[in-house]
Amino acid sequence: MRLDMASKLLNFGSKFFKSSKNFFNGAYGKRSSSSINARKWTGTRQKLLTFGALTGATGLLMYAMDASVDASSDSVHPAKQQWPHKGFLSAIDKESVRRGYQVYKEVCSSCHSLQYIAYRNLVGVCMTEAEAKAEAEGITVHDGPDEEGNYYDRPGKLSDYFPMPYPNEEAGRAANNGAYPPDLSYIVSARKGGEDYVFALLTGYCDPPAGFALRDGLYFNPYFSGGAIAMGQLISNESVSYADEDVAPSASQIAKDVTTFLCWTSEPEYDIRKILVIKVFVISAFLIGITYYIKRLKWSALKSRKIFYLPEIQEKAKKAAEDNCPK
């Protein structure tokens, strides 16, 4: 009984396989015989699928390598913060940039430079032109040579860049136990994590864990690579006095303001780029709408027309042409 059932199932399976094979072969034969372009498209589709598969595999490999590097990092990953300028229609807080510049000037400028930022960049962002000129005139620039070939000192101008805290790298290393303070012009864009990393680094100082040995002149910060950093904790509560009494100069507020300022120095055209994107979207939407309307208007007559073949009319036209033709 079981053998009969098994043989019936095998016969049914073989018949079903043959019928399905014939069906697919017939369908493919009809499809391939109907058009030569179909066979060409099949080859092109295979190439596209192969290219897509290779691209996807490469992307997965790059992601896996990046994830493996992150997993083996020797520092704590910073927490995600809700920055107000990260929205699509949000701009950088100009008041926060102004306060951040004050923090940089009073706390950070003694060690870190902003060699790619000029005083003219501050105009219209966090200062008026008169205020920026006053800030620039507060520095002394060694300029020259003059007509007699001599170098001289002059007050700063709007076109001057922020001064360097040290005359050269060796002097900077000598003043900081061998560590050279990096330039902060593009620090937010240069560090993975961006604003989150800078904020976490400034507020993440703590006591080292048990068994962690620190050399003299180094401080423990879990967000810095290796945990040992030469920069001490410079930001604390009320380390800076704000002119705006409504803003409390807490450590987190000061770190947030200077991070916002450094975010602006990394991308001074941040707001301009967003405005440009919005303009592009608005203009593109208008142009796409007009183009679609013109396309429907121009092609509506061709798409809606009907062509009829009437032999009687063709014969009459042929006879009329023969009668009118001079012999």
Q: Is 263 annotated as a binding residue?
A: no
Query: Do 257 and 285 belong together in one domain?
Result: no
**Residue 296: both structure tokens together:** 């429907």
Determine, yes or no, domain membership for 251.
yes
Whether the CB-CB separation of 177 and 217 falls below 8 Å is answered with: yes
Query: Do 195 and 100 belong together in one domain?
Result: yes
- Out of 239, 268, 297, a domain closes at 268
Query: How many structural domains does the chain have?
Result: 4
CA distance 114 to 262: 10
Query: Do 279 and 253 belong together in one domain?
Result: no
CATH of the domain at 214: 1.10.760.10
Whether the CB-CB separation of 180 and 261 falls below 8 Å is answered with: no
Determine, yes or no, domain membership for 122.
no
**Residue 138: both structure tokens together:** 């507060």
Look at residue 30 in the predicted model and tell me its pLDDT: 45
Query: Do 258 and 288 belong together in one domain?
Result: no
Helices (H), the chain: 2-34, 36-71, 94-103, 129-136, 169-175, 187-190, 195-203, 251-266, 270-304, 311-324
Query: Do 172 and 206 belong together in one domain?
Result: yes
Q: pLDDT (tens digit, 9 = 90+) per residue, 137-149?
A: 999 998 888 888 8
**Residue 143: both structure tokens together:** 């300029």
Determine, yes or no, domain membership for 130.
no
Query: Do 103 and 224 belong together in one domain?
Result: yes
Query: Do 54 and 95 belong together in one domain?
Result: no
Determine, yes or no, domain membership for 311.
yes
Q: pLDDT (tens digit, 9 = 90+) per residue, 61-108?
A: 877 766 655 544 677 889 999 999 988 888 999 999 999 999 999 999
Query: Do 109 and 229 belong together in one domain?
Result: yes
Q: Is 111 annotated as a binding residue?
A: yes
Determine, yes or no, domain membership for 145.
no
Determine, yes or no, domain membership for 258.
yes
**Residue 43: both structure tokens together:** 């080859």
CA neighbor of 195 nearest in space, from 264, 103, 268: 264
Look at residue 73 in the predicted model and tell me its pLDDT: 65
Query: Do 109 and 224 belong together in one domain?
Result: yes
- Out of 240, 268, 296, a domain closes at 268
Look at residue 316 in the predicted model and tell me its pLDDT: 83
Class of residue 224 by CB neighbours under 10 A (exposed 0-12, middle 13-18, buried 19+): buried
Residue 123: phi and psi, rounded to 5, are -70, 130
In the block, which residue shows the tokens 């595999």? 57
Class of residue 109 by CB neighbours under 10 A (exposed 0-12, middle 13-18, buried 19+): middle
- Out of 268, 285, 308, a domain closes at 268
Query: Do 167 and 215 belong together in one domain?
Result: yes
Q: Is 164 annotated as a binding residue?
A: no
Q: How far apart, in Å, are the Cα atoms of 36 and each of 25, 32, 44? A: 17, 7, 13
Whether the CB-CB separation of 220 and 284 falls below 8 Å is answered with: no
CA distance 194 to 190: 7
**By residue range, what is the domain housing residue 22?**
1-31
Query: Do 176 and 27 belong together in one domain?
Result: no
- Please report, as a single letter, which amino acid is at residue 314: Q
Look at residue 62 in the predicted model and tell me its pLDDT: 79
Which residues in the chain land under pLDDT 50? 1-3, 5-6, 9-10, 12, 16-17, 20-21, 23-24, 27-34, 71-72
Determine, yes or no, domain membership for 112.
yes
Determine, yes or no, domain membership for 126.
no
Query: Do 282 and 260 belong together in one domain?
Result: no
Whether the CB-CB separation of 157 and 132 falls below 8 Å is answered with: no
142 - beta bridge partners?
A: 153
Whether the CB-CB separation of 115 and 185 falls below 8 Å is answered with: yes
